[in-house]
Every structure is written in C-alpha cells, then in structure tokens.
Chains A and B, each alone.
Chain A
C-alpha cells in the first residue's frame, strides 16, 4: 500500500462538477488532487468509436469501460449493473472516465425556477431546499460563463448577468411548430445550452452535425472533459484508473484519507485536509455506504440514514407522429428548443409539472430500421423514408419525480464486481404524482398532434417512462441533520471536512436537466471547501 499521495483538497470523481470545483480551488491557490475511477477519455477516439459502432443508438459505445470501472450497459443486452429490486426500473446510464457523463449529454443548461426550490412550502409536496434561488444565482452565472451557455429568454429564472453567448437560432421545423402551437398556449423557445453559438473560449461554434449525443466531435458543446483538461492545466493533479472504495474518518469525524484500488487491484491511501465527493449520484453514495466501520456502521456521512435514499430522475413520456408539412427535424443541434411554460403552477400540489423537449435527433436511422423490419426495400422504402424523415416529430416530456425514502440504492450483500467491490441494488417506484403528470402530458400531446395535423401518432404508455440520466436526491441537502446528508453549503452534517456536490445532493428534481444546477452547487461547494482550508 502506497501512501505518499496528499493534497490540500482531494476530489473523488473527475466529472464536470468535480473538475470545475477543482479548477476553482486550484486557481485560488489550493493544491488539489482528483481521483478518477475510469480512464482518460479522448475525443477523437470517441468519435471514431461511434462511427464504427453497430449500435449507434447506444451512447456508451464510444466509451468502452475498463474492467475496474464498469458502467451500466443495455445494448445489445442489459448487464444489470444496478440490480433492480423495485416494481419500476431505474435504468441509469453513465460514464466512468475523465469528464464523466457529460461527454454524451445534449448540453441542455437550464436553471431551476425559484419555486422549484420551495415546492413543500408552496405546494405541500416534496422538500424545500435549505437555500434560496438568490443564494445559488451567482454560481449559476459562474457556471454559465465557464461552460459558455447560449440562450435568449431567462425563462422565468431571474438573472444578474446576461447569458455569455447569444441563443442558437431554432431550426426551421421548430419555428413552424412554434408558430402553429403558440396560439394554443404552448410556447416553443430556444433552450439554454452549453453550446457555442459563436466561437468562445478557444472552441468553435456549433456546426449542426447532430451528434451531441453521444459525442460532439468539435467541442462546440461543453462537457466535463473540457473541464478536466482545464483543471489539469491549472495544476490539479488528476489520477485516472483509481477506484475509490473507502473514505476513512477518525473517531472525531474528521476525514483522514481515501483509499483506492488501481489497475492491478493494489491499494493506495491518499491523505488530505478537505475532501470532495463528486462521483455522480449513484457512485458517490456507493462509496459512502462502503465506508463502514465500528464507529460508522452505516457508512460515512450517513447518521441520517438518507445516503442512497430519495433517488430521483426525470421520468419521461413521449409522442411521435408525422406532421402535415415537412419540418426536417434532425438538422442542427439535438436539443435546441423546448416548451417551457408548463413548469410551474398550483397544479403542482396534485400532479407533476411538465417540460416538453422537441427532440431534434435525426430520425433517419430509427425510421430506416423500422421500415426494414416492416419488410420494405428499394424504391418503396426510399419513398417512405424520405416522406417520414421529412415530417417526423418526436416530443419528449420530462416529469417531476418526488423524493421518497424507499426509492434508494443499497449495497448488495452477495454480488461483487470484478474488482471485488459490492454491486448496488436499486429499488424504485413511481408515485401517482408522476402518473397524473403523465396523464396531463397526454392531453397536451393530443392537442399538439391535432394542431399539427399529425398522423400515425404513437404515445408512450402510462407507467412506462424513459430514464433521463439526471440522478438526484441520493445525498440530499437539508438543514436538519436527521433527515439530510449535506447542509446548504454542501458540507456533510457528519464530517466537517467532507463536501459533496453535483446533482446527487439536489432535494428536488424539477422538470429541467440537472447538470447546470449540479455544477453551480459544485462551485458553491468549492467556496466552502476553500474557506475551510
């Protein structure tokens, strides 16, 4: 066991949250060490892995995992990375490697609404955040400038600084839906995106190659790999292929060290003054739960018993149809616009709010596969494909999940991964709150389909929801140490020198993608960690 590695701040997990926090702390003069379970991810290899893959719809194909850092995979078969124990599946998909899962995101960079942080006080459901929107707002600005977020409307999230970049103009087809659906009350608008509308920060403008998921070939889209690189250039030491499996605290509760396994299963011990956990909303609680001892029989930072609980994501419903005019969805970035004016209101006391993305993923492959399955070939196939591809519309609705303690990840008592680390079990169940949100989304979808003269509409099923990879709730933020894991400054209640940030600490999921919020929290957390040095 080697134990010479040490730094002022030890960060676990080199994703977007950890890397931007590390960058901030290094720029403030701290010595920072980041441990990343997976390998270095390189963009040009990822791009070619994608193009060579027979499974182009599988966003993990460009990111082959290492044996010591397995990750969930579903195609061609489910590797059951998370052992499903509940009535509803929780199909998380994420990456373990430098930069983390934002290598294959769609760059949607929304802020929460102020009301999203007060749903218990306002609507009697879920939990309030222990901090206000105003306290988080400056960090939203910092995160947006780091990432290069483009946008136009503030979408009812107040701003103290303008967007760093102008909004990316909507594709032609989106404009058509905007014109036709607007009079019905559905406001299609430019989405705030961590995607360059003009060259910014040494990276080019979006060229519309429609490959945001699984990888932007030109880094017009921001991702954690860019953040990790910046952190490295700023003097952060980054150790890849280092699987943290234990956090070590003394009897007073001060974290003394973390332990990791390397590519040869050898153990290493790393010491520091302050410790930051940013390994995503599933891997982070796993490490906490693994770190049991006599003093901490339930693991680190878990006196509340909340670690791993309150698991949330955005359940997704959807509809696809052929519009009555050509709209050519699939040109430009994958998620350039959405309907954002259904995210808040008194109805949230009864049912989930909605946010509807117009999905700009090129439908060509999907439609071709279907036509081939249906037995078409030659000119007949070509004619149908051309017609369908021109008019295909897919709308995806994000519903708001609530934090419920029984929805959780726990360590398996019997199953271990290839490096001997216990695997995780997951229990997940959608509440009626979500199902009632689904019902509303169907009403809205039907109205939109009718307005667009839609044919062959296919609606997703009640109770069968997409997973959107927005892992929240598992290390929940709150002011009461008895029912939360971290306080409003991202410091764990139990350990004064252990901080957690990223999406996993969010007490509410809202209906917007969580990365910008997780990143803003990480920047806020960095201030707390720095103040403690």
Chain B
C-alpha cells in the first residue's frame, strides 16, 4: 500500500511540477513575445512578406548589405540547435554560434544592457514559433569589412558591455523607460549620432542620427533641437499611432518601428519611455533655431497661382507641382484635412518640414508613407514613379519654404538622384514618340 501511495504522491508532485513548468514556460514565452516586439526583432530578421523570423532581410549600410539571420526555431538554418549561452552571447556580446564576430548592424551595443532572463525569454518565444527551413543569405561585404575579426577593434572603441543596473534614485517607471529606450527598443541605434568608427557617440545620446535616406531626429528634451516642447501625452500618442495633429507624423524607418513594435506595447510602457526621454540630457543643435514643429503657416501661393499663365507658372515650378500632386490631400493652403486616425496631416507645424535638414521631406516625397496599423492603413503614395529628380527637388523646396524651415530649402536634383538610386526607386515613364519611336 505504502509504495503505491508514495508512487502516487511522487506522480502528483511530478505532474504539478510539469503543470507549473508548463505554466512557467507559457509565461516565459509570453514575456518573450512581448520582449521580441519591444526589441523589434522582426524588423531585421523577417524578409518583407516573408515567414516570421526566417531571415532574408538585407540591412543597408554604408559598407554594403548585411543580411539578418534566420532566428526561427529551425535546427539547421535557425537557432534551433543553439544553447542558451550561445544565444545570449549572440544577442548581448555580438558573438556568433561558431565564435565569429557579429557586425554591429545587430545592435548588441544596446542589447548588452538586457537582463539574461529576458534574452532567454526571447529565445523561448522564438523556439515556440514554427521553424523556417530556409537559409538566410550569407553576408559578404567587400574587403576589408569582410574581416570579421576587425569587429574586435570596433568593440574596443565602442562596446560598453554590461546589463543595465537599476537606478535606485529613480522611479520604477523611469527605470522601465530607460530599459525600453536603451536596451530593448534600442532607440540610440538610429537616434544617437555615430563617431568616426561608426559607434554610438554616447556623449550625445539621442541627439539625432543620419540613416542615409532618413534623419532620425534629436529626441532629447532640448526645447529647440529636440522634443522639449512635446507633452508627455503627445509623445505617448506619437509612439502609439505615429501621428500627432499639427506636430508630427511618422514616416520611413520610424513608421516601421511604430508599425512593427511600438503600437503593440502597453500604454504604461509608452508612458515610461516618454518619462525617460524627457529626463535625458538635452542636446542642443545650432542649426535648429526653433522647435521643428513650430515652423510655417498656411500658404496662399496656390490661390495666387490660380488663373496664371504659363510663364508665371513656369517661374514657380515647386508651387505648380504642389498644386497638381500634393494639394488634393494636404490642402491648397497646406493645412491638411480631416480628423482622427485617417486625417491628412498639415504640412506646417510638422517636425519633418520644420527640420533644418529637408532629407525626410525628400524621402517622403520619393517613398511615400505606409503605416500598417491595427486600426487601419495610413497611406501616402510614392512620387518617385511620377516626378523627376528636379521635380522632387522643386516640390520639396517649395514645401520647406512655404510650410516649414526655409533654411532647409536647398535640395538639388543631384541629391535626389542619389536617394532614388540608393533606395532603388522607380522613375517617371518615358514613352516613345511617333516621330522618334
């Protein structure tokens, strides 16, 4: 009798352990899913319209294309046969499974700040997702960048290893905010300027970064250069929806970050991010003489052009292009239209047009905007297929001159050409002519 009872007791305990284990596993996977969202792993590790975490996405860098690896649970092509230590080493130390140095396109200089348990939770989540049985292309940068051991030098200059420790002087919200900003969401990867060796210049943390085709703006609380004139709630709304009326609307890589990651975070996380951001050291910028969202006013240029003859129109190419291409949605005066989620933004009092550098205006004109949000699609078409390089320059300069920061109105066709080619965008059509087919 007794051995049966003991066996039964052991079985019950084991079962309870298994249930508890399963419950623990489920909780860990759920946490891992949340952390993977916050860290936006999918941004670099999922190909456009491809299977989740299957790799196949190329990150464009000045050195060439770096392929995000397959991090699905696949044993051959993904992380399915990786140990916990190997996974943590990759994420936090920038060391691959075979001990090779990883390019810091993988932002391990941010992820080093993550807690080990959090990294393992992400691993558990990834392992719970379907395997993608397909190799991601090998990264093959030109010499000397294909010498991975060179990353040791990069790390020597730029890599501050180590988990973030709680600052006991600060609130739990602030600490959570810092963890989200500096570790998980790795905002600095885009928003912190780079030094000569392309490491983050942490003396100027979050003072703005140049991503080639897009500017990641200064998000320190500086009142002219950064987000000093944003309220807490405005920041939260922006992170959640990508749009704050008469202030900002997200485009390019930030639109993607909001679409894939930030819109899914709980409201409390967004509040904490805002709390933290509003506390960092303000970084000034001599170029940005007034807050980016404080520029511009409604324009009468279009109404003045109404009924004008060809000579007058020819003298104002930017206004003419704006009238024919932009005013329908953005208003004849540039004030936008509508309200709510699908509103068309005003072009004045907009952080992109008020920035001292018009790069984002040009890139938005070329690429359009597409935010695939839970509430619906926010969509502006690309104009690369419609407008020539000179036309893009003309209309961008008109927009910044009329609605934004006139100092930024110096885009030229050559700059546009470079952006168009880098992003491999379309060009306007060329039809044959009857006399010259």
Contacts and interface: CB of A to CB of B under 8 A. Distances in A.
Nearest to B391: A44
Given A44-B386, A204-B380, A241 B434 contact: yes
A51 B306 contact: yes
A242 B380 contact: no
Interface in B299-319: 306-307
Contacts of A68: 434
A52 B437 contact: no
B381 interface: yes
B305 to A, nearest CB: 9
The CB with the most chain A CB atoms within 10 A, among B329, B337, B338, B434, is that of: B434
A260 B338 CA distance: 49
A242 B325 contact: no
A528 interface: no
Interface in B411-437: 426, 429, 431-435, 437
B3 interface: no
A219 B381 CA distance: 9
B253 interface: no
A51 B313 CA distance: 14
A264 B437 CA distance: 13
A525 to B, nearest CB: 23
A243 B324 contact: no
Contacts, number: 88
B429 A229 contact: yes
A209 B431 contact: no
A116 to B, nearest CB: 36
A268 interface: yes
A486 to B, nearest CB: 27
A231 B329 CA distance: 27
A207 B344 contact: yes
B324 A240 contact: no
Interface string A31-64: 0000000001001110110011000000000000
Contacts of B431: 40, 98, 232, 238-240
Contact of A45 (B307, B324, B377): B324
B434 A268 contact: yes
> Interface range on chain B: under 10, 10 to 19, 20 to 34, or 35 or more?
20 to 34
Nearest to A264: B435
Interface in A208-230: 209, 217-219, 229
A443 interface: no
The CB with the most chain B CB atoms within 10 A, among A44, A239, A263, is that of: A44
B223 interface: no
A218 B381 contact: yes
Given A204-B379, A207-B329, A229-B429, A48 B434 contact: no
Nearest to A242: B434
Nearest to B324: A44
The CB with the most chain B CB atoms within 10 A, among A45, A48, A207, is that of: A48
Interface string B356-395: 0000000000000010000011011110011000000000
A429 interface: no
B81 interface: no
A207 B434 contact: no
A237 interface: yes
A98 B324 CA distance: 18
Nearest to B309: A52
A262 B327 CA distance: 36
Contacts of B376: 198
Nearest to A216: B328
A68 B433 CA distance: 13
Contacts of A229: 385, 429
Contacts of A209: 328
A262 B328 contact: no
Contacts of B426: 233
A237 B381 CA distance: 25
A39 B426 CA distance: 22
A199 interface: yes
Contacts of A239: 431-434, 437
B381 A5 contact: no
A238 B432 contact: yes
Given A229-B429, A237-B432, A262-B435, A48 B381 contact: no
A242 B328 contact: no
A5 B437 contact: yes
Contact of A199 (B307, B337, B370, B435): B370
Nearest to A199: B379
6 closest A-B pairs by CB: A44-B324, A262-B434, A217-B328, A199-B379, A241-B434, A242-B434
Given A44-B386, A47-B328, A261-B434, 12 more contacts: A43-B386, A47-B324, A52-B306, A98-B431, A207-B329, A207-B344, A217-B324, A232-B429, A232-B431, A238-B431, A240-B431, A241-B433
13 contacts: A44-B321, A48-B320, A98-B431, A204-B380, A207-B337, A218-B328, A218-B381, A232-B429, A241-B433, A241-B435, A260-B434, A263-B434, A263-B435
